[in-house]
């Protein structure tokens, strides 16, 4: 079972801070459990691992099988919460090099998560003449980036398979009733999957949003849900042994001692996109009203040779959370070299995990000595079940953290500002006045 350890924390935060925070954590916990706190209408993810729609789950599996049988590639179109979780899980469990591997499952290409023409073009080139399907994902159904990308790939599908053939290869994951994507899907007869009303984008990886692309890659999605359900039970019991309580309490306390930036680190490169998912989860949930820990991420040991300098000696505003997902699946012992020209025979026969673990201990000691406190999140292994636990753990701790901070962890009003400006500057009808103001500002810069 997932565990949170505080590494030599006594020198950073007053003990027993957890006891002092317990009454506030209890309230935050009740708000999450009852949906009675700020943004409570978006706490559907709290019981999702127990209450998820079994009929839809079977349809997800059936759609994944169909895609596996009729497609060499799946284009997954989405941004933010409609993108990062699926990519995080696929890279973590299948490899960041998933598309390069020999396998029976389709390649997966993520598009619509930016506005780069080169990125779109490249995916079209990579797919070439291969059979492909599209999973377009947008809770609102109106987000510009995925909507634009979808135009390109839908046109491609129609060219290749004709209008009716294209309709059989498009899977839309969106709101059950509202939005342009839902209307289009109904009109065209695409198979649709639902982002439940009460689950916000960044908490939606365990809905069809994440599950369909993940299942297409052959990952055991039941295992993922089972792990999340286990952690849901642990969080429901709460208390000082609950890892989500411990993590939320420690980071809240650290924040109040001036640690304004949390860096999430892992010694496994396959964790990179799980960290991206985590950044959106915490950044959008906490960063508002002039408050919130800034979530950043690093990849060890690579970043110890770049960001390591700042972490060790830069502004003392950092704390670090290291995720460790059990032993690696492939023990790799360092070869012996009789001539020992590189002087590495002291490591001969040692497993890479052994070397990594010593590097991790050395890093924790160095960073905490340099004024960067450390939390360690450990899972038993790198399996769907453990990742399900980790996802739910981070979600629950995020809800608790937002409530401890006094903000609504389930809205994101700040992201509208750039959207309004972009629409105005692109000439979207209805934004004419703002367009005039913005153009004047651009001219006077
Ligand atoms: O699924 P949608 O509605 O396209 O939204 C994508 C992302 O955009 C945001 O709404 C921010 O603009 C995120 O909260 C969300 O995850």
Cβ of residue 401 lying under 6 Å from some atom of ligand 1: no
pLDDT tier for residue 405 given thresholds of 50, 70 and 90: very high
Q: Output the CA 204–ligand 1 centroid distance in Å.
A: 11
Any idea which residue has 């901070």 for tokens?
405
pLDDT at 17: 81
Domain boundaries, the chain: 3-37+224-405, 47-219
Cβ of residue 204 lying under 6 Å from some atom of ligand 1: no
Contact 202, 280 (CB under 8 A): yes
- Per-residue model confidence as pLDDT tens digits over 132-174: 999 999 999 999 999 999 999 999 999 999 999 999 999 999 9
Mean pLDDT confidence for 41-62:
98
CA nearest neighbour of 80 among 199, 200, 194, 214: 200
pLDDT at 68: 98
Cβ of residue 143 lying under 6 Å from some atom of ligand 1: yes
- From 42, 110, 143, 180, mutation site for ligand 1 pocket: most ligand atoms within 8 A of C-beta: 143
Three-class secondary structure of residue 290 per DSSP: coil
Instruction: List residues bridging with 294 in a β-sheet.
Output: 261
Say whether 47-219 and 3-37+224-405 share the same fold: yes
pLDDT at 377: 98
Any idea which residue has 């790939």 for tokens?
153
pLDDT at 15: 76
Q: Output the CA 146–ligand 1 centroid distance in Å.
A: 10
Instruction: List residues bridging with 297 in a β-sheet.
Output: 264
Alpha-carbon 1 to chain mean position: 20
Cβ of residue 80 lying under 6 Å from some atom of ligand 1: yes
Instruction: List residues bridging with 76 in a β-sheet.
Output: 110, 135
Residue positions annotated with a catalytic role: 284, 419
The Cα–Cα gap between 424 and 249 comes to 42
Alpha-carbon 374 to chain mean position: 21
Cβ of residue 231 lying under 6 Å from some atom of ligand 1: no
Q: What angle do CA 45, 50, 55 make, to 5 degrees?
A: 95
Q: Going by CA atoms, what residue is nearest to atom 7 of ligand 1?
A: 80
- What's the order of all strands across the beta sheet hosting 294-299? 3-7, 374-379, 318-325, 261-266, 294-299
Q: Regarding predicted confidence, which is higher, 440 or 14?
A: 440
- Return the structure tokens found at 352: 């890479």
Cβ of residue 140 lying under 6 Å from some atom of ligand 1: yes
| CATH class in words for 47-219 | alpha beta
Any idea which residue has 């499952």 for tokens?
105
pLDDT higher than threshold 80 for residue 325: yes
Q: Going by CA atoms, what residue is nearest to atom 16 of ligand 1?
A: 81
Any idea which residue has 């029976």 for tokens?
104
227: buried, middle or exposed (CB in 10 Å: 19+, 13-18, 0-12)?
buried
Q: Going by CA atoms, what residue is nearest to atom 8 of ligand 1?
A: 80
- Per-residue model confidence as pLDDT tens digits over 291-304: 999 999 999 999 99
CA nearest neighbour of 150 among 75, 52, 242, 243: 75
pLDDT higher than threshold 80 for residue 414: yes
Provide CATH code, domain 3-37+224-405. Answer: 3.40.50.10490
Contact 62, 71 (CB under 8 A): no
The number of the ligand 1 atom at minimal distance from the alpha carbon of 419 is 12
Cβ of residue 67 lying under 6 Å from some atom of ligand 1: no
**Percent of the chain clearing pLDDT 90 (strictly above):** 96
The Cα–Cα gap between 31 and 19 comes to 19
- Per-residue model confidence as pLDDT tens digits over 346-355: 999 999 999 9
Q: Which residues of 122-150 are buried (b: 16+ CB within 10 A; e: fewer)?
A: ebeeebeeeebbbbbbbbbbebbbbbebb
pLDDT higher than threshold 80 for residue 50: yes
User: What average pLDDT does the structure give for the chain?
Assistant: 97
Q: Output the CA 115–ligand 1 centroid distance in Å.
A: 15
CB atoms closer than 10 angstroms to residue 272: 17
The number of the ligand 1 atom at minimal distance from the alpha carbon of 202 is 16
- From 81, 86, 203, mutation site for ligand 1 pocket: most ligand atoms within 8 A of C-beta: 81
Query: Rounded to whole angstroms, what are the CA distances from 65 to 76, 110, 210, 290?
Result: 16, 19, 16, 47
Cβ of residue 81 lying under 6 Å from some atom of ligand 1: yes
Q: How many residues does the chain have?
A: 445
- Per-residue model confidence as pLDDT tens digits over 208-231: 999 999 999 999 999 999 999 999
pLDDT at 18: 82
Three state DSSP letters for 86-119: HHHHHHHHHCCCHHHCCCCCCEEEEECCCCCHHH
- Residues 6 or more apart whose Cβ sits within 8 Å of residue 170: 133, 134, 136, 154, 157, 185, 188, 190, 191
Please give the helix or strand (H or E) that residue 121 lies within, else none.
helix 117-127
Cβ of residue 210 lying under 6 Å from some atom of ligand 1: no
The Cα–Cα gap between 373 and 306 comes to 19
Q: Is the pTM of this model over 0.90?
A: yes
Mean pLDDT confidence for 413-442:
96
The Cα–Cα gap between 297 and 264 comes to 5
Any idea which residue has 């009808």 for tokens?
429
- Return the structure tokens found at 269: 């490169």
pLDDT at 167: 98
pLDDT at 156: 98
The number of the ligand 1 atom at minimal distance from the alpha carbon of 174 is 1
The Cα–Cα gap between 409 and 43 comes to 10
- Per-residue model confidence as pLDDT tens digits over 12-38: 998 788 888 999 999 999 999 999 999
Mean pLDDT confidence for 190-201:
98
Q: Is the peptide bond before 301 cis (omega within 30 degrees of 0)?
A: yes
- Per-residue model confidence as pLDDT tens digits over 89-106: 999 999 999 999 999 999
């Amino acid at each position: 079972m997932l565990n949170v350890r505080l590494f030599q924390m006594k020198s950073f935060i007053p003990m027993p801070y957890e006891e002092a925070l317990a009454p506030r954590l209890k309230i935050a916990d009740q708000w999450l459990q009852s949906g009675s706190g700020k943004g409570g209408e978006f706490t559907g993810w709290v019981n999702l691992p127990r209450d998820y729609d079994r009929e839809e789950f079977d349809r997800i599996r059936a759609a994944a099988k169909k895609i596996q049988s009729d497609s060499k590639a799946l284009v997954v179109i989405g941004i933010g919460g409609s993108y990062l979780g699926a990519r995080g899980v696929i890279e973590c469990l299948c490899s960041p090099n998933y598309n390069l591997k020999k396998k029976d499952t389709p390649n997966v290409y993520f598009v619509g998560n930016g506005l780069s023409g080169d990125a779109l073009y490249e995916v079209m080139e990579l797919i070439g003449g291969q059979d492909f399907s599209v999973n377009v994902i947008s809770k609102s159904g109106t987000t510009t980036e995925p909507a634009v990308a979808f135009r390109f790939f839908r046109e491609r599908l129609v060219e290749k398979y004709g209008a009716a053939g294209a309709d059989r290869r498009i899977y839309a994951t969106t709101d059950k009733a509202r939005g342009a994507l839902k209307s289009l899907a109904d009109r065209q007869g695409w198979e649709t999957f639902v982002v439940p009303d009460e689950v916000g984008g960044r908490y939606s990886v365990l809905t069809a949003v994440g599950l369909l692309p993940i299942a297409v890659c052959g990952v055991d999605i039941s295992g993922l849900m089972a792990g999340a359900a286990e952690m849901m039970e642990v969080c429901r019991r709460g208390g000082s042994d609950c890892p989500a309580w411990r993590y939320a309490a420690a980071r809240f306390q650290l924040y109040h001692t001036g640690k304004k930036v949390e860096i999430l680190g892992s010694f496994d490169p396959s964790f990179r996109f799980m960290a991206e998912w985590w950044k959106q989860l915490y950044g959008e949930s906490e960063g508002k009203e002039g408050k919130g820990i800034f979530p950043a991420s690093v990849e060890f040991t690579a970043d110890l040779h770049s960001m390591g300098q700042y972490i060790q000696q830069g502004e003392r505003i950092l704390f670090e959370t290291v995720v460790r997902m059990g032993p690696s699946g492939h023990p790799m012992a360092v070869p012996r070299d009789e001539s020992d020209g590189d002087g590495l025979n002291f490591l001969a026969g040692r497993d890479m995990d052994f070397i990594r673990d010593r590097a991790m201990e050395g890093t924790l000691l160095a960073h905490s000595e340099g004024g960067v406190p450390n939390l360690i999140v450990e899972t038993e292994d790198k399996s769907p079940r453990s990742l399900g636990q980790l996802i739910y753990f981070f979600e629950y701790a995020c809800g608790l953290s937002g409530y401890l901070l006094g903000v609504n962890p389930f809205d994101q009003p700040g992201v509208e500002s750039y959207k309004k400006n972009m629409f105005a500057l692109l000439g979207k009808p209805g934004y004419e006045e703002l367009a005039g103001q913005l153009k004047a500002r651009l001219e006077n810069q």
